[in-house]
C-alpha cells in the first residue's frame, strides 16, 4: 500500500504511527538550496523532508501483512512514484485541507493507473474542519472513493484509514475479477 499526498501532509507520521516495526525513513534536513523549490507555505515549521520513501509494516493476521510505502511529497521526487506503485494493491492520499490542491497530483496519479485509493484528511490542530463529503466534492472524486477523517499521529486513527482502503480495494478487485469472468458478448 502506498501513502501519498502533498508536501507536509503527514505521510511519514502516518506510516510511523501504524507500523508495527521501526519504520525505515529517508528524511533529510531541508536546506537553503531547496528554499526556492519547496513550497513551505502552511508548513513553515517543517524542517525535514522524505527524499526516497518511508517503509512500514502492519500484520493483518498470520501470513498476511500490509507493507506501507510512503512517497515523497515534492515534485522533484515524483519519478520514484512509478517504482513504488508497481504491484501496489491500493493507496492512501493524505490530504491537508490547508493545502488541498496539493492532493490533485496524487489523485490523478492513482486514477490514471487504476490503483484503488482512499483519501484520508489529516485533521491538523487549528485547521478548519470539513466533512468527508465536502472534501470529496472539492477533489471531484467518484462517489465510491472513500474519504475519511484522521489524525496521522494516532495509531488507531491510521488503522481506520487502512481498513477503509483495504475494504475499498477488495470491493474493486472483486468487481474486476467478476467482470473478467463474464463470457465475452456474442456479436
pLDDT at 187: 38
Quick one: DSSP state of residue 182? S
Check whether 56 has a pLDDT greater than 70. Answer: yes
* H-helix or E-strand spanning residue 176: helix 155-181
Which domains are delineated in the chain? 2-181 (3.40.50.300)
Give the C-alpha separation, 8 to 5, whole Å: 8
Q: Cell for 29?
A: 534536513
* Cα distance between residue 98 and residue 100, in whole Å: 6
- Pull the grid cell for residue 181: 469472468
For 103-160, what is each residue's pLDDT tens digit? 999 999 999 999 999 999 999 888 889 999 999 999 999 999 999 999 999 999 999 9
Amino acid at each position: 500500500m502506498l501513502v501519498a499526498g502533498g508536501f507536509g501532509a503527514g505521510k511519514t507520521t502516518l506510516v510511523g504511527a501504524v507500523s508495527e516495526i521501526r519504520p525505515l525513513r529517508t528524511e533529510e534536513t531541508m536546506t537553503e538550496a531547496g528554499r526556492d523549490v519547496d513550497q513551505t507555505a502552511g508548513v513553515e515549521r517543517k524542517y525535514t523532508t522524505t527524499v526516497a520513501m518511508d517503509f512500514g509494516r502492519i500484520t493483518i493476521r498470520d501470513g498476511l501483512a500490509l507493507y506501507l510505502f510512503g512517497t515523497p511529497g515534492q515534485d522533484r521526487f515524483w519519478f520514484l512514484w512509478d517504482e513504488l506503485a508497481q504491484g501496489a494493491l491500493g493507496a492512501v492520499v493524505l490530504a491537508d485541507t490547508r493545502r488541498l490542491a496539493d492532493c490533485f497530483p496524487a489523485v490523478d496519479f492513482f486514477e490514471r493507473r487504476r490503483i484503488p485509493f482512499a483519501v484520508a484528511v489529516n485533521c491538523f490542530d487549528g485547521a478548519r474542519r470539513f466533512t468527508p463529503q465536502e472534501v470529496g466534492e472539492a477533489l471531484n472524486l467518484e462517489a465510491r472513493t472513500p474519504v475519511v477523517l484522521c489524525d496521522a499521529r494516532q495509531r488507531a486513527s491510521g488503522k481506520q484509514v487502512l481498513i477503509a482502503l483495504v475494504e475499498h480495494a477488495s470491493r474493486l478487485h472483486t468487481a474486476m475479477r467478476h467482470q473478467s469472468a463474464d463470457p465475452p458478448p456474442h456479436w
